[in-house]
Structure 1
């Protein structure tokens, strides 16, 4: 697959389409996270790490998420990544979308429904990632790491994303984070899903 140009571009360029795309992608991302949480079948790799660090430090889950995001942003420096509107919106909108979805979405008792929640959550997460990154208004801290490595090395989005997720998962598990079958499904499928959806939604000049 040819390398996609995913660097942020000025908001004024096609803002009428790109800003709504960004908002929709982040809202969908938060909703997809809630589906995975309500499935009770395993956290995604980053949240396994957040869970482990929260247990070890006594800090809240949200605080750990923010600190981790800030540290990941430091990794952007050697990759020459530039934060954008999407970088800030990522932190704010996803949190609101997760809480809003969790408030109205109960945890189902039936295993079949929970599996459905998990699969839908993972697939929608891949789509949401592609939608908001494809708006080219700046990726979130963690996805910026993915796109930066992709741009600098030429490695496929699939390979880069999968490698990051597996490393984060292993670290979180070793530190005592909660892992389940959904964690494995997410780690192995999110890279291919994101790469498959990106060409369909990425904004091009």
Structure 2
């Protein structure tokens, strides 16, 4: 690999790396060329890019606004993301006591005003519904999200994946996991909801 990476102007040049250097420096950043003691901390600080004229090539693309938006039937934005306690699908962090202690169950963050309008109290279970499916989550009322949005971590099996939008960007093929339209429904039978929520903790 070191020999293959060598070459004038190549970015991924690791010819100057060795296991000894990596251990001594507690990590090296590439490119790290032959004769260098340390790798380059940041690329393109000189303003020169990998083209004959040294300029960056920016390719404009037309914006395609084909994502779904909130409406009367699904009035809220759903934003999914990660939390500090877990990693991906919890195959490891789900087995660590303290990780589950602080984030034990599928939940949503919802604005207190929105929750009050729906008759949902902090700590109660609620149903999140989209055009694709539904999920049972515990409500956490917080000012961290605006009134027209909820947030759900993606770490839990059979939770946010049941409602999220799998729309792909036409160029990068990046799925639109971070936004879709949902509604939140109050659940009267909290004991039954707790069992469904518990089932979604599996991985």
Interval of TM-score (by shorter of Structure 1 and Structure 2): under 0.3
Structure index of larger Rg? 2
TM-score by length of structure 1 reads: 0.26
When you count helix as a share of all residues, which structure comes out higher? 1
When you count strand as a share of all residues, which structure comes out higher? 2
Which structure has more RCO (C-alpha within 8 Å, separation ≥ 6)?
1
